[in-house]
Amino acid sequence: MPKMKTHTGAGKRFRLTGTGKVIRRRANRAHYNEWKPSTMTRRLAGYVELAPADGKKIKKLLGK
């Protein structure tokens, strides 16, 4: 049986926690941050857990 390959796009965007939850970055934080309010950039900081329904699809793409 061949090995399962990780979907490279998903591998760059998502990762798994120790308990198996999928973590993602928030959107709208990539560029033009200078023009966005500080409150918005603070709110968008950090990582969040992906919705469980989407987590199943992403785990399959990550080869888990």
Buried (b) or exposed (e) across 32-55, using 16+ Cβ within 10 A?
eeeeeeeeeeeeeeeeeebeeeeb
The CATH code that applies to domain 8-61 is 4.10.410.60
Q: What is the pLDDT of residue 61?
A: 94
Q: What is the pLDDT of residue 4?
A: 87
pTM of the predicted protein model: 0.80
Domains of the chain: which residue ranges?
A: 8-61
Write the pLDDT tens digit of every residue in 10-62: 999 999 999 999 999 999 999 999 999 999 999 999 999 999 999 999 999 99
